[in-house]
């Protein structure tokens, strides 16, 4: 019998981690059959009871599985629900933000970034590349600090006090000569952002770059993201600065409105 293998299949297979694949099968099985015992799960997946038990124990320790000790049965844990909530929340955000980001990029010609907070880090979950011949482009998935950058500082300004305290109490890394590394100065800057409901950052994260950002809120009035236009500082004259602030604030309000309607 001749077996046909697609190009690159062998290479892809070599990266497979069987233990991870088995753990995912366990989660899928618990989703299909909640409240199942280790013996039944092992039979269902074609695993030894020992391997099934070890997988369940590992997933339970990390919160992905929960065990009913009285009946010795297992179900999906809270962390699975948490991941699902995050996917749903960001999925809705990305869906409603996409056309607004496109329009903002076309109106300004600058890069447009959609940024959320994960713990004490900022993550760009969507970007639009600017139209200028010389441009700065932050890749989707880029992680950054909360104390520097336009949208990052917006998210820090509106974060719960415990998050702000963690950032302000930790050493503030300097990324350029313009990065705010004094906690009191940073605290004042965050108060100004909350008062203005926008932020203009210049040369503080990437020397030679600016970012104008505004907060996006959900139906509960919580700040869930920041949207920014960013580009080379040399282009940010007073006229563009005022225009970009207006357009970014309008874009943030439009996304917030669509989230509410959605």
As separate numbers, helices (DSSP H) first and strands (DSSP E) second, the chain gives: 9, 8
What's 9-76's CATH class? Answer: mainly alpha
Beta strand pairing status for 199-202 and 121-128? unpaired
Give the model confidence (pLDDT) of 135-188 as tens digits. Answer: 555 677 788 999 999 999 999 999 999 999 999 999 999 999 999 999 999 999
261 pLDDT exceeds 70? yes
Question: How far apart (Å, rounded) are the C-alpha atoms in residues 127 and 79?
Answer: 28
In the chain, % helix, strand, coil (3-state, to 5) comes to 50, 20, 30
Residues of the chain with CATH 3.30.450.40: 86-261
Q: Within 13 Å of residue 176, how many CA atoms lie on the same side as its CB? A: 15
Residues of the chain with CATH 1.10.10.10: 9-76
SS3 159: coil
Give the model confidence (pLDDT) of 9-66 as tens digits. Answer: 444 455 788 899 999 999 999 988 999 999 999 999 999 999 999 999 999 998 899 9
CATH homologous superfamily, domain 86-261? GAF domain (3.30.450.40)
């Amino acid at each position: 019998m001749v077996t046909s293998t697609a190009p690159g299949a062998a290479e892809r297979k070599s990266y497979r981690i069987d233990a991870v694949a088995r753990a995912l099968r366990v989660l899928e099985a618990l989703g299909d059959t909640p409240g199942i015992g280790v013996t039944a799960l092992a039979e269902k997946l074609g695993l030894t009871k020992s391997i099934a038990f070890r997988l369940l124990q590992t997933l339970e320790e990390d919160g992905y599985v929960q065990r009913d000790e009285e009946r010795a049965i297992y179900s999906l844990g809270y962390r699975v629900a948490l991941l699902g909530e995050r996917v749903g929340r960001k999925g809705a955000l990305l869906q409603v933000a996409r056309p607004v980001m496109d329009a903002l990029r076309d109106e300004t010609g600058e890069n447009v970034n959609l940024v959320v907070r994960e713990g004490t880090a900022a993550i760009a979950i969507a970007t639009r590349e600017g139209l200028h011949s010389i441009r700065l482009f932050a890749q989707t998935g880029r992680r950054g600090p909360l104390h520097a950058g336009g949208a990052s500082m917006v998210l820090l300004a509106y974060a719960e006090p415990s998050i702000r305290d963690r950032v302000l109490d930790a050493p503030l890394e300097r990324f350029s000569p313009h990065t705010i590394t004094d906690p009191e100065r940073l605290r004042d800057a965050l108060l100004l952002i909350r008062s203005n409901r926008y932020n203009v950052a210049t040369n503080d994260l990437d020397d030679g770059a600016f970012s104008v950002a505004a907060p996006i809120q959900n139906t509960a009035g919580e700040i869930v993201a920041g949207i920014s236009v960013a580009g080379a500082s040399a282009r940010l004259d007073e006229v563009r600065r005022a225009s970009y602030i207006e357009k970014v604030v309008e874009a943030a309000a439009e996304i917030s409105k669509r989230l509410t309607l959605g």
